[in-house]
Amino acid sequence: MKRQVDDKTILDKFAERFCGIIEKYAKYMVCSGFVAIAHGRTRGTEDIDMIIERISKENFFKLHKDLIKNGFICMQSDSPKDIYDDYLKSGESIRYVEENEGLFPPEMEVHFAKDILDDEQLKERIKLPLTGLNIYFSPVEWNIAFKEELLKTEKDMEDAKHLRIIYSSEIDEDKINSIKDRIKKMRLKR
């Protein structure tokens, strides 16, 4: 597949630059809407969702410092201690933007892996050549399962449909159903 560097969108370049820094400190994966968009889904977004492994405070401080050095800024706070203690550790997401863009979109929404489902996706994370991007994504089956079983908005169902068509000959339907069962047990139980 031939694709020129110039074909890369603002979102693509932002994602690759951000992921290149994160990869030095933590295992990450990009999931949800951007997976579909990177596969050609025609819809907008102003943020990209990223899950990273739970890392120590010390390691996060290094990661945050590197992001700042490279022109990113966290929208929640300038204090890495506050970001870690008040947000990441308590399961809240944080958002980084590029400072030279006036703090405007796109944003990278980052949160820690919160359970075994996130941990497994991180273990199975994958680069998807069809996107032409040098970043890790959560596997397609996981994305479809989450969108169809948990998220379920019109936008998410359309994202899932798009991915199903793109990967129609590769998708493991048994795996999707098995993930859906686990989502029901772990995320939907009350």
Residue number, 56 or 168, with CB nearest to another protein: 168
In angstroms, what is the minimal distance from the CB of 109 to another protein? 11
Residue 75 gets which letter from DSSP?
Answer: S
Of 3 and 123, CB closest to another protein: 3
Please say which residue, 42 or 56, places its beta carbon nearer to another protein: 42
* Minimal distance, residue 35 CB to another protein, in Å: 13
Which residues sit at the interface with another protein, rule CB under 8 A? 1-3, 7-11, 37, 39-42, 44, 46, 73-78, 95, 101-106, 130, 132, 154, 158, 161-162, 165-166, 168
Residue among 62 and 105 whose Cβ is closer to another protein: 105
- Distance (Å, whole) CA 102 – CA 124: 35
Maximum alpha-carbon separation in the chain: 48
CB 99 to another protein: min, Å: 10
d(CA 186, CA 172): 21
Identify which of residues 29 and 163 has a Cβ nearer to another protein in the complex: 163
CA torsion 136→42→75→103, rounded to 10°? 120
Distance CA 158, CA 165 (A): 11
DSSP state of 176: H
Helices (H) and strands (E) in the chain, counts: 8, 7
Alpha-carbon Rg for the chain, nearest whole angstrom, is 17
Beta bridge partners of 30: 50, 137
How near is the Cβ of 119 to another protein at its closest, in Å? 28
Element (H, E) at 67: helix 57-69
Which C-beta is closer to another protein: that of 62 or that of 95? 95
CB of residue 22 vs another protein: minimum separation in angstroms?
Answer: 20
Compute the least distance from the CB of residue 173 to another protein, in Å.
18
